Structures are given as structure tokens and as C-alpha cells.
Copies of this chain bind each other. A is one copy, B any other.
Amino acid sequence: MRHDEIPNSAVHRLSIYLRHLEAIHVLQQRTISSKQLGQALSYSDAQVRKDLAYFGQFGHPGVGYRVEDMIRELRSILGTDKTWNVLLVGAGNLGRALMTYRGFLRKGFRLAAVFDADTAKHGRGFGELEIQPVSAIAHAVETLQIRMAMIAVPPESAQQVADMLVAAKVRGILNFAAVSLVVPPETYVQSVDLAMQLEQLSFRMNLGQIAGTTP
């Protein structure tokens, strides 16, 4: 099975399956069927089976999927069976929240370095990390073997930071700035615009009103 035949949305669901499996593993549940997993997450059982089957045959007819095995398989598929070193550019409000976010390490991502353009912040420590000037990015990428970065800078400077990261051969960028980044095709960008999330909710909620007034 070639990876580029796999629906994007299926990969997203894989992460959601993994998260639920990790939760029920803590509760000592040993196996789970596609029907149970689907019901817990509001997907159809067929959807769950199809998604998992893209990557191999992990299930046991009449039984379901063994939780522990499935967690291991999904981590391997998603590439989080190893720890990734990640760097962060931007130590503003959001950046500092990201620096202390525990969820990253739990999932296999270690924040290895932090950068900011503001000289007043340089050298100041947060946890074990010291904020460095952005000019130090290239060096850090090389010495720490970094391939992934997060951008949490104002939208005006985000493209510039992205260019620096690309030049330093970072191949994956998680972008929190409210702007669409332009990068070469071999670089992957995942964008999270916080306000846009509320905007999408706003649309859905207005739907309700409109649907109510137009039968």
C-alpha cells in the first residue's frame, strides 16, 4: 500500500483513534471493536475498519483490535514511536504557552530550542530553555538534528521566519500565525489559526438561525 493513496482525512482520524486507544488503555481495556471505537468517536464502524486496513491487517475477527498492539502500530505509522526534536520561533503569549505545554512530550515531541526577534528576551530562561536570537536558528537545526518547527510570531513576520526555516532545511512547520505561508513543495505546513476556528463555529451557528427562518 503506497502512502500517497491514503486519504488525508484518514490520517487525521488515525490520530484521533490513537488518542482514544491511549485513554482506554489506561482504563485497562484490552480489546476494542471497530463498532465500539466508531461509536465513541462518532464514526461508522466501516470507516474505522477501512482506515486501519490502509496500513495492514491488525484486527482479529470475532474479537476486535488489541488495544496495546494497535497503539504501538499507530505510533509507528504516525512516526511518533520515536521522539522528535522541535524548535519554536516566537516567545510571545502563545509561544510561552507552547513552551510549557505538556501534551507535546507525552506524544513524542520535545521542544529543543526557542527563538525570538526581541533582543530583550534573549537569554531569559523558561524551564530549561533559553530564548535565542533568530540568527541562531540555522546552527541549532544542524546541531540538534531538527526537522520540525513551530511558528508563533505576528503575521507580518511569519513568512520571513518560514523562509529561514526552509533555508535551514526544516521540513515540517506548524504555523500559528494568521497568514498562509508559501513554501517549496517538499516542505509540509500545518496551520492553526485560532480566530478562524471561532469563525467556522460562527458560520455553523448562523446556519441554525437561517435554516430556522427558511423552511
Interface status of A53 (Cβ within 8 A of chain B): no
Q: Are B197 and A84 in contact (CB under 8 A)?
A: no
Q: Are A180 and B16 in contact (CB under 8 A)?
A: yes
Measured CA separation A208–B15 after assembly (Å) = 19
Q: How large is the interface on A (under 10, 10 to 19, 20 to 34, 35 or more residues)?
A: 35 or more
Known A-B contacts A19-B196, A179-B19, A194-B104; A78 and B203 likewise in contact (beta carbons under 8 Å): yes
Shortest CB distance A8–B (Å): 9
Measured CA separation A188–B207 after assembly (Å) = 11
| Complex interface: chain B residues within 8 A of A97 (CB) | 93-94, 96-97
Interface string of A93-112 (1 = CB under 8 A from B): 11011101101101111000
Interface string of A27-65 (1 = CB under 8 A from B): 000000000000011100000000000000000000000
Question: Residues on A close to B: CB < 8 A?
Answer: 3-4, 11-12, 14-16, 18-20, 23, 40-42, 77-80, 82-86, 93-94, 96-98, 100-101, 103-104, 106-109, 145-148, 150, 155, 171-174, 178-180, 182, 186, 188, 190, 192-208, 210-215
